[in-house]
Structure 1
């Protein structure tokens, strides 16, 4: 750990990697609790994996891959949301098909890109050590957009996340809010691509929020705790991967998974300890 701290002080790319992890953690903290409470991790996974199609197309036509990812994420979110709202049977199959088609299209575009030099593995598993300054600004802009929308529509999202029927009785546009929530999930996915990649993004989106939910019962509390946990996990994973020269993305996810198991076991023990015991 001491070696990593010295390296952070000396190496600008490590400081940028830490900043990228912190920026991704803000998005995780804001949107992850809604994904966990609403139980839409599978839908979020469909959005995440469909993004590769947009990135591949952008590379093929000479555009910035992140712009392609952003466009594909929003389109996928709206399409998957429409499937979820209109199909009462077989929605899992349809979403799984969109998931696979998006990845297949992306791989085909990338394979056919003239003079292709971009590493596909960095898209799939992330490359936090190579995040350029302009992408940090892009991540900051996405965080700001997420923060503004969530702050403005916080109570509406709470109503839709916990009880759609009650929200509908209150006259809220449930379908529009649901689609907007999926668009926010899409923006968060794009935010985390550089940190852990498309394959592992759902773990970072859900695990900090799930851990937070084991210890707090309010969405606001989950947001704060998930943001802090995300920051600790990304920074800790980066530190753990430095000395043995391991890939940072998978290391971050393994750390998140280990902490989730510890949190789940500890929370279970705490609940049993608080439970009233029957009279002897």
Structure 2
């Protein structure tokens, strides 16, 4: 009889303990889910560069492996660019993969070929985990004016490296090139001036109606036409995000970062304003 009473008395206590355990597990799952959402949002806000693989080649290689072709990483990734087996096979093809099953077994020229092939398909995206390493300290010996001129004078097949000091702003980080076009009745509109909200600098369209300027990564900028628009011309549309299709300017833009509808940027003004790429800031005017 005493044993039965003891069991009855212990039953509520066991239920309380079980409920606490279940609650703890649910809280833990909630926290883990939140962390994953934030991480995914942050990863999605990283700009993926698709141009000029040779500009990024050694920077990424240094951050991934210290530039060592024989590097074997702790997670099974190997070689200068830290390939896993599956990605490596896709990068070099079945014949070379059969000869060199893992990246660290291949000579340098084969690993460089793999990087070129991967970059052509996916840009810098496979190396986003080391983004904050290879994005820093990248400068090239060119002025902003030379860079902007070369964007419009070089053949289409030539990819131009970013300037070292856009608008004289010294930066130890990658300088993002912002560009766009202004047209009137679908024809180029030259000599239009645009405020950039970047060190009080002004961008001006060329004979083809195009403009370009450099901004250090993660810096904010805007685009506001301030002069050169013919009297009577009316701005009919821009390439703004859908939430701001009716707006006449581009505001709350962030260079080199995609904040558009990213959880990471939810509380900032860039959440709906920031475009997912730093090119194609276009203004379309019409006149009677």
Superposition TM-score, scaled by structure 1 size = 0.30
Greater gyration radius: 2
Higher helix proportion (structure 1 or 2): 1
Superposition TM-score, scaled by structure 2 size = 0.29
